[in-house]
Chain A
Amino acid sequence: MRSPGRVAYLALLIAAAFVLSSLERALPSPVPMIRLGLGNVMTLTAFAVLGLRDGAWVTFGRVALVSFIWGGVFSPTAVMSLTGGAASLMVMIPLALCGRRFSLYGISIGGAFAHISAQLAVASALYVQSADLFRLLPFLGSIALVTGIINGGIATLLASKLMLNKVPGSG
C-alpha cells in the first residue's frame, strides 16, 4: 500500500511530467524533430525516489493526460506517444533491474533510444509501409542519445535534491 503522502508525491510527479510535455509541445522546436523528452525526466526521478512501479505510472499518467487534453485519445499522435512511452519503459525497467549496473544516465539513454525507435517503427507501419523512415535513425537516434544523457543528468540532480528533503505527509 502506498501512503497518502506517497500517492500525493506520485501525483505531483505526473503533473510535472504533464506540464513539461505540454510546454515542449507548445514551444516551436528550433531544430526539426528535436525534443528533449523532459516528461521522461519525471519518470526517471520517480524511479529513483519512489521506485520502478511508480515510475511506470508517471509515464502512463503523462501519456494519458497529454492525449486526453491536447489531442484525440485515438489520434495518431496519441498512439505514437503511447507506443513511445511503453517502449521506453520496456527498456528502462529491465536496465534498472539489471543488478544496479546502470545509473539514471544509462536508463535514460536506453529509454530515449527505445522511444525514437518505437516511434519510427509505428510511423513506418502506419504511414509509409516501408522501412524507409529508418533512414532517419542515425540522425534522430544520435540526438536521442544526447538528450538521453541530458535528461539523465537533470533527473539525477533533481532526485538527489528531492531525497534530501523529508516529504510532507510521510510521517
Chain B
Amino acid sequence: MREGKDHFPTSGASSFLRRPTIWDTCLLIFLLLLTFTAPRILIGASGGSLKAGSYIEVRTVDGSSVISLKKDATHIVKGPLGAAKIIIEDGQARMESAPCPLKICEAMGPIKNAGETILCLPNRISVKVTGGEGELDAVSR
C-alpha cells in the first residue's frame, strides 16, 4: 500500500510527521519569551509603570471622560453596541457586562496601575489608567 509513485506523500514532505523535535521545543520557548517581552518593548515608555493610578480615562466614540479610581462606583458607558458597565472597586477598574460578542474586555480583568488599559474593540471603548498621585477629583467633558 505504501509504495508507488502515485501516492501523494511527496518525498520529504512526510518528514513533518514526527514527534516534536528539539527544534520545536526551542521554538516554543523562544515564542513564549517573545510573548512576554514583546509587549514591553513595543509599548515602551507609554506605560508599564507599576504605580497605582488615580484616574481612569474612558474613551468612547462620543468622547472621553476622566473618572476617579478612589471612589467605588459603577459607571454605565455607551458604545455602538450598547451599554457597558465599568465597575470601580478598591482602586481598580474592570469592565463588566459588556455587550460585545467575545467579552475580551471582561477577561482582561481589573486594572489599577498607570498605563494599564482595557480595550473593547467591538464596542469602541477604551479604559486607561492615568496619573500617579494627584488632587483632581473628577473631570468630565
Shortest distance from the beta carbon of B25 to any chain A beta carbon, whole Å: 8
Bound together, the chains give a CA A134 to CA B39 distance in angstroms of 5
CB neighbours of B24 from chain A (8 A): 102-103, 105-106, 109
Task: Considering the complex, give the chain B residue whose CB is closest to the CB of A95.
Answer: B27
Whether the pair A106, B7 counts as a contact (CB closer than 8 A) is no
Shortest distance from the beta carbon of B96 to any chain A beta carbon, whole Å: 13
Q: Which of B17, B20, B36, B107 contacts A33 (CB 8 A)?
A: B107
Shortest distance from the beta carbon of B57 to any chain A beta carbon, whole Å: 12
* Chief secondary structure at chain B's binding surface: mixed
Shortest distance from the beta carbon of A125 to any chain B beta carbon, whole Å: 12
CB neighbours of B103 from chain A (8 A): 32
Whether the pair A138, B102 counts as a contact (CB closer than 8 A) is no
Whether the pair A145, B2 counts as a contact (CB closer than 8 A) is no
Q: Which of A33, A50, A52, A131 contacts B8 (CB 8 A)?
A: A50
Total residues of chain A contacting the partner, CB 8 A: 56
CB neighbours of A135 from chain B (8 A): 39, 43, 47, 116-117
* With contact pairs A29-B102, A137-B35, A145-B35 given, residues A105 and B20 touching in the complex (Cβ less than 8 Å): yes
Whether the pair B106, A32 counts as a contact (CB closer than 8 A) is yes
Tell me if B140 is interfacial: C-beta within 8 Å of chain A.
no
Tell me if A170 is interfacial: C-beta within 8 Å of chain B.
yes
Whether the pair A109, B27 counts as a contact (CB closer than 8 A) is yes
Tell me if B13 is interfacial: C-beta within 8 Å of chain A.
yes
Whether the pair B20, A166 counts as a contact (CB closer than 8 A) is no
Whether the pair A138, B27 counts as a contact (CB closer than 8 A) is no
Bound together, the chains give a CA A32 to CA B109 distance in angstroms of 12
Whether the pair A96, B16 counts as a contact (CB closer than 8 A) is yes
Q: Which of A138, A156, A164 contacts B39 (CB 8 A)?
A: A138
- List A89-140 residues whose CB lies under 8 Å from chain B: 95-96, 98, 100-107, 109-110, 113, 117, 123, 127-128, 130-139
Bound together, the chains give a CA A165 to CA B8 distance in angstroms of 10
Whether the pair B20, A163 counts as a contact (CB closer than 8 A) is no
Q: Which of B13, B27, B104, B117 contacts A132 (CB 8 A)?
A: B117
- List A39-59 residues whose CB lies under 8 Å from chain B: 44, 47-52
For the complex with contacts A128-B126, A135-B47, A142-B35, 18 further pairs of A-B residues with Cβ separation under 8 Å are: A32-B107, A49-B13, A101-B21, A102-B23, A105-B24, A113-B34, A132-B128, A134-B38, A135-B39, A135-B117, A136-B108, A137-B35, A137-B39, A145-B32, A156-B16, A160-B17, A166-B7, A167-B7
A-binding residues in B (CB < 8 A): 1-2, 4-10, 12-21, 23-24, 27-28, 31-32, 34-36, 38-39, 42-44, 46-47, 102-104, 106-108, 116-117, 119, 121, 124, 126, 128
B-binding residues in A (CB < 8 A): 6, 9, 29, 31-33, 44, 47-52, 95-96, 98, 100-107, 109-110, 113, 117, 123, 127-128, 130-139, 141-142, 145, 149, 152, 156, 159-160, 163-167, 170-171
